[in-house]
Chain A
Amino acid sequence: MTQFGAFIKKEFFHILRDKRTVLIVLVMPVVMIILFGFALSTEVRNVDIAILAPDPDRMIEQIADRLDASEYFTVKRWLNTPAEIDQAMKAGDVQMVIAFGQHFSGNLLTPDGSQMQLIVDASDSNMAQSYASYAGGIISEFSRELAAAGEERGIETQVQFLYNPQMKSAYNFVPGIMGLIMMLICAMMTSISIVREKEMGTMEVLLVSPVRPIYIVVSKMVPYFVLSCINLITILLLSVFVLQVPVAGSLAAFGLVSLIYIITNLSLGLLISTMAQQQVIALMFSGLLLMVPAIVLSGMVFPVESMPPVLQAISCAVPPRWYIAAVRKLMIQGLPLIYAWKETVILIAMAVVLIAASLKLLNNRLE
């Protein structure tokens, strides 16, 4: 036990004395959360728009005011002819133009109704879709109010966003970032720190001691487990208080699934370290073989459902995919743990397989 304690103490010294490691481990999650939460936001906020109205009148002005008053849009320009649309878009002044037809207000009460067009810069297609639905939402609400006032009759379209009514991108990114950071810290840092001992030659000395290799390795996992828990709490606090993503479900269920996920990743790091002989290799392994799928295939950026079947099949082997799905259910949707049983079981199974494989490969000798 004193041996084990000495190992863990030594490991903490390694981590705390290497400023880069401390920086990566403790600051990176904060930076990533803030980056993804704000800078790389896909939220609609203060988007510049223009209004094209050949016959401006009170009704159009009201709609324009309504759009401008929302936090989503800013009416930047008024245009007179359709030719100006292209010009304004190309100049990058506006991302969307709301074009009103001739005699807009007058036609409202006719059987044909009046026409209105949303013209969106779709070079970023995802954003374009959001702009259109936001603007559509505001306009249909306006028309609903008019209808209530008895001024207009018409069919209204209603789009409703479940769970994320404001379409906040943070809701999407928080589980993704959690999945990514845990993987980075657990799998990458653990594997690198074990392989570093091999590379530095200290593993040689440790092996020629009565300490069983399994203890050497497990003692490496403990500090990173602790760090991951700290990160988990940091991310959770940041997302609740800074990004205002509420924890809708049970904190205990979320914590349990997260701990399982951390253990899965630690075992992954362990497996990598049993195979790699050099830090570079371990880094490549965890960098290319883990990070890329973790970002691309986990559903963090692209929804798994819209991937081709081959990639969907591959994504099943990517732990963050299951973790992200579970966190979405538990944290965002607020469902009880039973709804995430499949994800939880898969993560546990992965951990068991990884640990078994590493124990098989873990050697009592150098080769």
Chain B
Amino acid sequence: MNAVTVENITKRYGDTVALNGVSFEVGTGELFGIIGPDGAGKTSLFRIIATLILADSGTANILGFDVVQDYKELRKRIGYMPGRFSLYQDLTVEENLSFFASVFGTTPEENYHLVEGIYKFLEPFKKRRAGKLSGGMKQKLALCCALIHKPDILYLDEPTTGVDPVSRKEFWEMLKQLQQEGITIIVSTPYMDEANLCDRIALIKEGRFMQIDTPQRIREGYSAPLWVVQTDRMHRLLGDVRAFGGVEYGYAFGEAHHFIAGEGFDPEGLKTYLRGLGHGNIVLHRGEATIEDCYMLLAKQ
């Protein structure tokens, strides 16, 4: 049975369309990622499936409950971690956890096994006020608080934004563990590298899901001729490459630039052209598509 069935959700704020006919399904126990930049509509989508806001049209059924009709039942079963750090900064780690446990009518002890793996990191700081924790610690605490009532489904809205790489890695390991417990997880992230850790992902742009599939199949489906280029004058390179005939479009990608070649693209010609413009140490080769490349290609189409 599907944990989540969303059909044709649309949400407008005035003239801005936040979500434009979004439909997707998430299976029970699945780790589902929503990948896209800020402003793509991720938070609006979370708020709709968390019963916090109403969609203008479309339906969403979570765990067999309708988000509009059965919101009261649903709220007992959802764990939600909003994008911003939304715990009480002036309460200690311990107080935050026990407060959120009481809100859901439980105690921190009752479901301790569920958060144990995460809480052990926080244990030494349990008397510290939440506002004084580091970014990674805050996220761990927020996750504990979202989990303390043993939800059937967990929504995480950009849980790793502003968190250091080590904590990010730990965080994803925790999500994998929670998945083992049978909890369905929907997570959003602007980091494309995290997409590979999900079972399935949806690529969202301007309120539309461009593609929904496993990360692997999305990468394999990439058909365009992708090239990677690097020189010693990176700041000028992108403009120069874009100006070269036969280059469809290029974009910055980490330390290199990626571009898609058009018909009749001549690699040697590009090298000569770049040398002529004063570039040295030119590295040019075919690239293997990452999720980000897939996103860029889909976004362009």
The residues of A that contact B100 with a CB separation of less than 8 Å are: 205, 209
B88 pairs with A202, CB closer than 8 A: yes
The residues of B that contact A200 with a CB separation of less than 8 Å are: 84, 86, 88-89
CA gap between A205 and B141 in the complex, in Å: 14
Which residues of chain B in 84-132 are interfacial with respect to chain A, using CB atoms and an 8 Å cutoff? Answer: 84-91, 95, 98-100, 102-105
B82 pairs with A201, CB closer than 8 A: yes
Q: Given known contacts A10-B99, A366-B47, is B105 in contact with A205 (CB within 8 Å)?
A: no
Chosen A-B contacts, 16 in total, with CB atoms closer than 8 Å, are: A3-B103, A6-B98, A6-B102, A6-B103, A10-B88, A13-B91, A200-B86, A200-B88, A201-B84, A202-B86, A204-B86, A205-B145, A208-B80, A210-B76, A364-B71, A367-B54
Assign chain A's interface to a size class.
20 to 34
Which residues of chain A in 3-40 are interfacial with respect to chain B, using CB atoms and an 8 Å cutoff? Answer: 3, 5-7, 9-10, 13-14, 17-18
A2 at the interface (CB under 8 A from B): yes
- Chain A residue at smallest Cβ distance from B157: A204
The residues of B that contact A208 with a CB separation of less than 8 Å are: 50-52, 75, 78, 80
- Chain A residue at smallest Cβ distance from B78: A208
B224 at the interface (CB under 8 A from A): no
Measured CB to CB, the closest approach of chain A to B226, in angstroms, equals 39
The residues of B that contact A201 with a CB separation of less than 8 Å are: 82-86
CA gap between A301 and B297 in the complex, in Å: 70
A211 pairs with B51, CB closer than 8 A: no
A204 pairs with B52, CB closer than 8 A: yes
B99 pairs with A209, CB closer than 8 A: no
B103 pairs with A211, CB closer than 8 A: yes
Q: Given known contacts A208-B80, A209-B75, is B99 in contact with A6 (CB within 8 Å)?
A: yes
Residues in B lying within 8 Å of A, measured CB to CB: 47, 50-54, 71-72, 75-76, 78, 80-91, 95, 98-100, 102-105, 145-146
CA gap between A208 and B71 in the complex, in Å: 9
B99 pairs with A210, CB closer than 8 A: no
A210 pairs with B53, CB closer than 8 A: no
A206 at the interface (CB under 8 A from B): yes
The residues of B that contact A58 with a CB separation of less than 8 Å are: none
Among candidates B53, B80, B83, residue contacting A365 with C-beta atoms closer than 8 Å: B53
CA gap between A3 and B76 in the complex, in Å: 14
How many contacts A-B (CB < 8 Å)? 81
Give the secondary structure class of B's interface: loop
The residues of A that contact B80 with a CB separation of less than 8 Å are: 204-205, 208
The residues of B that contact A367 with a CB separation of less than 8 Å are: 53-54
Among candidates B90, B105, B145, residue contacting A18 with C-beta atoms closer than 8 Å: B90
Among candidates B81, B87, B105, residue contacting A2 with C-beta atoms closer than 8 Å: B105
- Chain B residue at smallest Cβ distance from A203: B86
A207 at the interface (CB under 8 A from B): yes
Residues in A lying within 8 Å of B, measured CB to CB: 2-3, 5-7, 9-10, 13-14, 17-18, 200-202, 204-211, 364-367
B95 pairs with A13, CB closer than 8 A: yes
Q: Given known contacts A207-B52, A210-B75, A365-B52, is B86 in contact with A3 (CB within 8 Å)?
A: no
CA gap between A303 and B80 in the complex, in Å: 54
The residues of A that contact B91 with a CB separation of less than 8 Å are: 10, 13-14
The residues of B that contact A209 with a CB separation of less than 8 Å are: 75, 100, 103-104
- Chain B residue at smallest Cβ distance from A13: B91
Q: Given known contacts A3-B102, A207-B52, A211-B103, is B90 in contact with A14 (CB within 8 Å)?
A: yes
Known: A6-B99, A210-B104. 18 other contacts (CB 8 A): A3-B102, A6-B98, A13-B90, A13-B91, A202-B87, A202-B88, A204-B52, A204-B82, A205-B80, A205-B81, A205-B86, A205-B87, A205-B100, A205-B146, A207-B52, A208-B50, A210-B76, A210-B103
- Chain A residue at smallest Cβ distance from B95: A13
CA gap between A271 and B72 in the complex, in Å: 24
- Chain B residue at smallest Cβ distance from A216: B103
B51 pairs with A365, CB closer than 8 A: yes
Among candidates A3, A10, A206, A210, residue contacting B95 with C-beta atoms closer than 8 Å: A10
CA gap between A203 and B77 in the complex, in Å: 18
CA gap between A25 and B180 in the complex, in Å: 50
CA gap between A210 and B74 in the complex, in Å: 8
Q: Given known contacts A10-B95, A13-B91, is B52 in contact with A206 (CB within 8 Å)?
A: no
CA gap between A364 and B146 in the complex, in Å: 19
The residues of B that contact A204 with a CB separation of less than 8 Å are: 47, 52, 80, 82, 86
Most buried by B among A7, A9, A205, A365: A205
Measured CB to CB, the closest approach of chain B to A231, in angstroms, equals 22
Most buried by A among B52, B72, B75, B84: B52
Q: Given known contacts A2-B102, A201-B82, A365-B52, is B90 in contact with A210 (CB within 8 Å)?
A: no
The residues of A that contact B53 with a CB separation of less than 8 Å are: 365-367
CA gap between A18 and B88 in the complex, in Å: 12
